[in-house]
Amino acid sequence: MSDQYSFQTKLLHNQHKFDENTGGVSVPIQHASTFHQKEFDKFGSYDYSRSGNPTREALEQAIAELEGGTRGFAFSSGMAAISTAFLLLSKGDHILITEDVYGGTYRMVTSVLNRFGIEHTFVDMTDLHEVASNIKENTKLIYMETPSNPLLKVTDIEGVVKLAKANGCLTFVDNTFLTPALQRPLDLGVDVVLHSATKFLSGHSDVLAGLAVTKDEELGNRLYTLQNSFGAVLGVQDAWLVLRGLKTLHVRLEQSARTAQTLAEFLQKHPLVEQVYYPGLPDHPGYETQSYQASGAGAVLSFELKDEEAARRFVNAAQIPVFAVSLGAVESILSYPTKMSHAAMPRKERYKRGITDGLLRMSVGLESAEDLIADFTKALEAAGQAVQA
Ligand SMILES: *Cc1c(COP(=O)(O)O)cnc(C)c1O
């Protein structure tokens, strides 16, 4: 019914625009864990809330439609969604996975799945030759995250899908950084799209949630069985919060991405900034691919200062962003990968991946670009004093 609408309109005008029973213009929160069956041998649409709940289902249908899929699944966190999707694999299977994957996914693959006889190989997913040459006979899944964290490396999704299809592998994309507002991996042939809805989809740093979306009916049925079996479903209050956040996804991301572009260009010109990583900059190595497969570069960027002392002074002097892990919120979030997301990684490994002691990551919120630039100008002055000292 809403097929003719643009993405922006679809966020508001879908089958859950108002409640059929009351006309209420917000999805009702159904707390019931169990549902009365009206007849002895005929059951209603819902029986038990782990298996199906109307509030969670509203969110699941919304994300499925926005991603261009047929089935959506809501989980208690991004990691619950990702971990449940991994249960599509079996003992003896092999995963090809991007080397700069999210830390929680790294931990799941290297310290949990390995105990169940599921092998993995990390590859530079931006290099299709490396991907191709690491596909083994038992490779059943290629796992992508693009743009990646924290260096915003861009993977050619269609290129990887082609290799996967030729070798009978499934493909997953963690679409947390761009959301369906900017990138729709299912349209590019991907099998499962995964999200930490904790980030841009909900957008307000006030809920943990995860989502998975499939297009293929049989795969959707298998994932549904896993969601119901494993049971890490999203609670109804949290499902409502994500639905609420989704309504403003388009305006939030559009505004934040515009500011991110301005900020990236400002940082690129600043003499104290050694490197800026943002796929909206024409000299970013993934710029072409990003422009082809996504409709924007997103709201996350990273930049490199001289060393740890410069980064420390910058963080201490910056007033606007909160200094924290996480991203994708209305408020800007500044983080220090070396001691936050990548603290567990040995220095040598970190440096090999370009994650230096001077690297900072910025998730741009909804503050004015002028205010952010003024704040960063002062913070860079403070960082510069470290260089002179
Ligand atoms: C935060 C994040 C996750 C994990 O999601 P949680 O909701 O924290 O469990 C997975 N992937 C990416 C890219 C993330 O940023």
Reference 314, options 334, 299, 337, 343; nearest CA is 334
Beta-carbon count within 10 A of 217 CB: 10
Ligand 1 pocket check for 314: Cβ under 6 Å = no
Ligand 1 pocket check for 102: Cβ under 6 Å = yes
The whole-number pLDDT of residue 388 equals 59
The whole-number pLDDT of residue 305 equals 97
The whole-number pLDDT of residue 148 equals 95
The whole-number pLDDT of residue 389 equals 54
- Which residue's CA is minimally distant from atom 6 of ligand 1? 78
Q: How many residues does the chain have?
A: 389
The whole-number pLDDT of residue 2 equals 57
- For residues 152 and 14, state if they share a domain: yes
CA–CA separation, 333 and 200 (whole Å): 12
Ligand 1 pocket check for 196: Cβ under 6 Å = yes
The whole-number pLDDT of residue 387 equals 55
Ligand 1 mean position, distance from CA 265 (Å) = 27
Ligand 1 mean position, distance from CA 187 (Å) = 22
The whole-number pLDDT of residue 125 equals 97
The whole-number pLDDT of residue 348 equals 87
**Residue that terminates a domain, selected from 199, 219, 246:** 246
Whether residue 89 is contained in a domain is answered as yes
- For residue 315, the one-letter residue type is V
Phi, psi angle pair for 56, to nearest 5°: -65, -40
- For residues 91 and 230, state if they share a domain: yes
Whether residue 276 is contained in a domain is answered as yes
CA–CA separation, 6 and 278 (whole Å): 27
Full domain range(s) for residue 180: 7-246
Reference 194, options 181, 213, 178; nearest CA is 213
- For residues 95 and 147, state if they share a domain: yes
Ligand 1 pocket check for 353: Cβ under 6 Å = no
| Catalytic pick among 93, 100, 102, 278 | 102
- CATH number reported for the structural domain that contains residue 273 in this entry: 3.90.1150.10
Which residues on neighbouring strands pair with residue 275, listed in sequence order?
304
The whole-number pLDDT of residue 346 equals 81
> Quick one: how far is CA 282 from the chain centroid?
23
In the chain (389 residues long), the average pLDDT of successive 10-residue segments reads: 82 92 95 96 94 98 98 98 98 96 92 97 97 98 96 97 98 98 98 98 98 98 98 98 98 98 98 98 98 98 97 98 97 96 83 92 98 98 77
- For residues 350 and 377, state if they share a domain: yes
**Residue that terminates a domain, selected from 246, 281, 308:** 246
- The two three-digit tokens of residue 257, written as one number: 């991405």
**Residue that terminates a domain, selected from 246, 270, 298:** 246
